[in-house]
Amino acid sequence: MEQNPSEKPLEAPAEPSLRGAARVEAYLKNLPDGPGVYRMLSAKGDVLYVGKARSLKKRVAAYAKPALLPYRIARMVSETAEMMFISTASDTEALLLEANLIKRLKPRYNVQLRDDKSFPNILLRTDHPFPQVLKHRGARSSDGIYFGPFASAGAVNTTLNTLQRAFLLRSCSDAVFHGRTRPCLLYQIKRCSAPCAGRIDGDAYSALVAQAESFLTGKSRLVQEQLAQEMQQASQAMEFERAAQLRDRIRAMSQIQARQGINPATIVEADVFALHREGAQSCVQVFFFRAGQNWGNRPFFPRHAADVESAELLSSFIGQFYDTRPAPKLILVSEEVADRELLAEALAVRTGHKIEISIPARGEKREVVAAALQNAREQLIRSLAESASQRALLEGVATAFGLEGPPKRIEVYDNSHIQGAHAVGAMIVAGPEGFQKPEYRKFNIKSEDLAPGDDLAMMREVLMRRFGRLVRDATEQSEQSDKWNKWPDLVLIDGGPAQVDAAYAALAEVGAGDVVLVGIAKSIERESGREHFCRLGQAPFRLDEKSPVLYFLQRLRDEAHRFAIGGHRKKRSKAIGASPLDEIAGVGRSRKKALLSHFGSARTVAQASLSDLQSVQGINSALARKIYEFFHPE
């Protein structure tokens, strides 16, 4: 969220030598008695806490009396060396800005929404005569109708697969659509109506689109009744093949509804938030209902202190959750939310429609919330059990490799390539909370003088880039709270003594030779469970074949291998699908799309005359000549 025009940073000078309550008190004389957002910073510049207030002066005055504060807040005040303030025009703007800053800055003392992946949607495009249906994630920048959110990509893929069977809409890209002259396999297996090959006219296809839109907006029963009538009419007219096709479409629609589980009749569009706590551990289970259908659920485990009130926790979580997502008209919660009316008003400002936050007391809505609460309780129990198991495994790793204590951050490295082509290095991260996927990294191998398949040189480049940056940041005393600035307690690489020697040489060259590094080498027979572990200056050793620690290390290695292969395949696919149009200056995404839509393929663009290029919408004479000369340098 960008700063609104009504928000003004406040200059509040204070004595630099002061710290803690005295430092906080020094700001009071310059603060207004109005709404705003404040930040508390440590001596290093790290943001400790972000808060909002109806009156900045009164809120900050409360921090200046540490004897009356809870222990956690008093400790936060004692660490405060500086404060920053932004005055807002209203309480609503303050709440929205607070949620945005918490998500962006991740202060230590705030409730933090840790899993902030975007949710997938189904997009029905409207910028083409024959609309395409596809999965969409991210900003809603394309023209079309969006349906979602869905809880997972798997739920979207399942629904899309069934939508193809029920409504026969195309899923191919525009370039593929315009380049085809006969139907593809999807037409043969009755999952597309083949508009690309003229097997269906525009009016009939528009009718399919309208039926799909009706189904996704909650009118599934009406669509099924219409199809049932058409099936009956086709049967009476002895058009048995068409009747069978309609029957299969009705069955496909029924399968979508059967997979959705809970489908309450009284909830058309709503999100459900249920909170269950065990001390400092919490689970918020979120259910999504759209068009009267259950589109899945997902658990979240926000980070917070044990003494944070549940009402504050839930309010902060919901504010961050909808910071980049549209909120539905109804939000159901399992318990009271702090500043409930203010939160609803703030979300309404962002989405442009009225929003109600409700705690249902009876009926079907109450049953749905109770079901979500039960899911939250069970999910938290499983998470706590997994955390205990993870701690035991990390303690076993520390014992196996002689570490001072259980590692909090393990980095695992691997490479993937085909005879040196499209080479990619990969780093995965694991710790007490399992795999830390937001901190995974891919490295495009940049060295051009590498021999094809030289894994040692690739690993050397990756480690030197990664740890060279760490050393530079440490030398320059960088205070950026960047994921790259975190040093690992243990580094694992796939390889034996030769790989370990090369890795340590690379680390020593950049000044990081004290990093603990272990190589995992397969046995000669390459059997799982007979891996050897290699450390610099030590003989390779093995762990018990039935040891849980061995299984854990194998999972880390396999995850790094999976991630590296995925990066390599993506890079290879991109290279295969690259278009020469990408190399022409001035031809961006929209102009490339216009050219491919007009000519059908890049090859046809290359064969087009200058006058043909000038006839394409968005291509002026100068750009047309540039494109023509690119393909005809003579």
| 143 in a structural domain | yes
DSSP state of 83: E
Helical axes 91-105 vs 310-321, angle rounded to 10°: 80
Q: Which of 105, 130, 145 is the last residue of a domain?
A: 105
| Co-location of 218 and 290 in the same domain | no
Residue 488 has a pLDDT of: 92
Helix (H) or strand (E) holding 591: helix 589-599
| Co-location of 174 and 196 in the same domain | yes
User: How many residues are recorded in the chain?
Assistant: 634
Dump pLDDT digits (tens) for 366-399: 999 999 999 999 999 888 887 888 888 999 999 9
| Co-location of 540 and 443 in the same domain | yes
* Alpha helix ranges (H) inside 428-547: 455-475, 497-509
Concatenating the DSSP letter of every residue in 516-576 gives: -EEEEE--TT--TT--EEE-TTS--B---TT-HHHHHHHHHHHHHHHHHHHHHHHHHHHHH
Domain that holds residue 80: 8-105
Instruction: Show the tokens assigned to 379.
Output: 């999910």
- What torsion, rounded to 10 degrees, do the Cα atoms 276, 278, 280, 285 define? -20
Mean pLDDT of 338-345: 92
Dump pLDDT digits (tens) for 399-455: 999 888 999 999 999 888 665 566 788 899 998 888 888 889 888 877 766 666 677
Q: Which of 259, 283, 315 is the last residue of a domain?
A: 259
CA distance 25 to 18: 10
| Co-location of 596 and 613 in the same domain | yes
Beta strands 47-53 and 532-534, pairing class: unpaired
| Co-location of 419 and 542 in the same domain | yes
CA distance 265 to 293: 9
Tell which residue, 497, 568, 561, has the closest CA to residue 528.
561
| Co-location of 200 and 286 in the same domain | no
| 399 in a structural domain | no
Mean pLDDT of 222-244: 77
Note the pTM of the prediction, 2 decimals.
0.68
Which residue shows structure tokens 């690119």?
Answer: 630
Question: What are the φ and ψ backbone dihedral angles of 556, each rounded to 5 degrees?
Answer: -65, -45
375 versus 603: the higher-pLDDT residue is 375
Which residues contact residue 593 at a Cβ distance below 8 angstroms, ignoring those fewer than 6 apart?
174
| 265 in a structural domain | no
User: CATH no. for residue 365?
Assistant: 3.30.420.10
| 488 in a structural domain | yes
Dump pLDDT digits (tens) for 498-537: 889 989 999 999 888 888 999 998 766 555 557 889 988 8
Helix (H) or strand (E) holding 286: strand 281-290
Q: Is the peptide bond before 131 cis (omega within 30 degrees of 0)?
A: no
| 33 in a structural domain | yes
Tell which residue, 511, 515, 517, 512, has the closest CA to residue 496.
517
Burial of 219 (0-12, 13-18, 19+ CB in 10 A): middle
| Co-location of 364 and 485 in the same domain | no
| 90 in a structural domain | yes
Beta strands 330-333 and 356-358, pairing class: parallel
Tell which residue, 395, 613, 562, has the closest CA to residue 490.
395
| Co-location of 348 and 368 in the same domain | yes
Burial of 524 (0-12, 13-18, 19+ CB in 10 A): exposed
Q: Give yes or no for residue 478 having a pLDDT over 60.
A: no
CA distance 247 to 227: 8
Tell which residue, 423, 546, 440, has the closest CA to residue 483.
440
Dump pLDDT digits (tens) for 13-59: 555 445 788 888 888 888 888 999 999 999 888 899 999 999 999 99
* Contact criterion met (CB below 8 Å) for 207 and 170: no
User: CATH no. for residue 51?
Assistant: 3.40.1440.10
| 116 in a structural domain | no
Alpha-carbon dihedral sign for residues 180, 183, 189, 192: positive
Q: Provide the 3-class DSSP secondary structure of residue 137.
A: coil
464 versus 525: the higher-pLDDT residue is 464
Tell me the HSE value of 170 on the side-chain side, using a 13 A CA sphere: 28
Which residues contact residue 241 at a Cβ distance below 8 angstroms, ignoring those fewer than 6 apart?
none
Concatenating the DSSP letter of every residue in 416-429 gives: EEETTEEEEEEEEE
* Contact criterion met (CB below 8 Å) for 94 and 36: yes
Residue 578 has a pLDDT of: 60
| Co-location of 414 and 502 in the same domain | yes
For 47, 86, 110, 474, 488, the CA distances from 480, given in Å and listed in that order, are: 11, 22, 19, 11, 17
Count up the domains in the chain and report the number.
5
Q: Provide the 3-class DSSP secondary structure of residue 114.
A: coil
Residue 355 has a pLDDT of: 93
| Co-location of 372 and 499 in the same domain | no
| 211 in a structural domain | yes
Residue 416 has a pLDDT of: 81
| Co-location of 94 and 156 in the same domain | no
One-letter amino acid at 604 equals T
CA distance 247 to 223: 13
| Co-location of 209 and 315 in the same domain | no
